[in-house]
Structure 1
Amino acid sequence: MTAAVPVISLALSADRFARDFGGSFERFGFAMITDHGIDLTLIDEAWTKAKAFFALPEAVKRAYHIPGGGGARGYTPFGTEIAKGAKEVDLKEFWHVGRDLPPGHPLAAQQPNNVWPAEIEGFRAVFERLFAEFDRVGGQLLSGIARYLGLAPDFFDDTVKDGNSVMRLLHYPPVEAPAKGIRAEAHEDINTITLLLGAEEAGLEILDKDGSWLPVSPPPGAMAVNVGDMLQRLTNNRLPSTTHRVRNPDEGRAGVARYSMPFFLHFRSDYLIETLDNCIDADHPDLYPTPITADDYLQERLREIGLKK
């Protein structure tokens, strides 16, 4: 039988959810989550606003590009990001929404304030609400992971408080053959966990342990969730940050744009990523003996994917 990433309901009991979700993370580095509780009307509004922004003239969009900002906020033009080790840039453009911190906050230097497009009415209100909802659901998912790892259910609460999380609005334009590169080349995510809406449109695939590519197609309204490199490092690779990609569409769908909204949930910028003691034993020596702060790790990786010099 072909392996398949399981679909798991967040409405399960806490212990059952932790067992099923953690097991899927350990096996695949991915899971598909239903019953997450984010209002579908809000999600529909977000799609409408995102599509309206990407339909703006190129010059208008580029006015929101922040040179030297590493793509942390605002607009990143088509053909900018490249996967680590890839030869061709990804066929996508995107917009980033982050967490606004009050003046004087000790982490404000690592987390610039948002910019908002004046051309799209209601854009800010919709995406501030959706950011908060992603944050809420992310906390529930991390609680399940904590239980699975034998930690206190609130273990991750302080590690992500005021964290440098980013919501990305992604647009993959129609693909013209012959295309150089693909919509998103094989890569792993940098952050702690990623919550993704919009994977119903075919294309997202994960690299399984046998070298085959498995499709990840959540039911309508559900989300795909995956382990990021920071959580992999924290758990000494017990929870793998799995390689994934967004392949180009089949011929019949080549003229159709693809949209998605990943929420990259990050640790607090000053959080020291240090291997968990209960993920180290005689058979699993510590692969990461030198701790690193979440921000230092992030900056290192942003340089590798071309978003920072």
Structure 2
Amino acid sequence: MRRAKLPRPRREGWRHRENSAAWFMLLPAFLPYAAFALVPIAWLIYYSFHRWNGFTEPTFVGLDNYARVGRDSQWWESVVTTLQFTGGRLVLEVPLALALAYVFFRGVRGGTILRTIYFLPYVLSPAIIGIVFGFLLRHIGGPFNQVLLATSLVDSPVNFLGDATNALLSLIGVGVWAHVGINMLLFFAGMMTIPTELTESAAVEGAGEWQTFRHIVLPMLMPVARIVVLISIIGILRSFDLVKTLTDGGPARATDVMFTYIYRFFFEPTAIPQIGYAAALGVSASVVVGVVSVAYLRLVRRHEA
């Protein structure tokens, strides 16, 4: 028996009311998004075409700010430093998180407590972590150097934050310590979705831990791994508070990342703010983050193909 169709005007009126109700329900979520995401982005793009110090009237300068970005060697040095910081953290953080997740997945005594301990640093503010490690890594009287000297591992205090190479390595190490826990939990959650029948069958067939991990766990974990790496790339490229409180871009701007460099033009107390140029730098930083993220996704898709 065929169902009677509603007349066309009634159908369109019903569809219109349904769409209106859907938009109305989305409104509470859209308003904060517009206020704290869309409006600041529009503000940033608008002022990137102006010369403005935050006090006088903005002056439209067209693409002059972006031309200055292209000529700014210190900016491009900060981009390279950001990429080095990102690469160093990814090389250490992702494999370590994956290894820890697999250990807990296979079972270890006190696993719940240990997972909580590894996750706790992620709960702390990166700014607080930077302040604490700034004290721990002090050249003179720092607890780390005191331990190294007491155990005769070094003959003189290590200048963790005063040497360019050591400062970048220290930043990478502290960043890994702070964020390995969340990646470990994401990997662990992905492993928990793997059917136990597969790992049990592998054990029956005589597969060892490495073979089980390589041929069963890792292939089934790849969708989660791609997301974890992408989130890590975006998060590390946008680093600011840890770098600001631990090294403040020093020594001699050797650890200046993109967003600490931008900060100086917005809020540097010893100079006149250059908000228009800082806005252009902010747009450029967003482009860098987008380009690296898209390049990673294209590389992953090419590998899958």
TM-score bracket, normalised by the shorter chain, equals under 0.3
Name the one with the larger helix percent.
2
Which of structures 1 and 2 has the larger relative contact order (alpha carbons within 8 angstroms, sep 6+)? Answer: 2
Q: Which has the larger radius of gyration?
A: 2
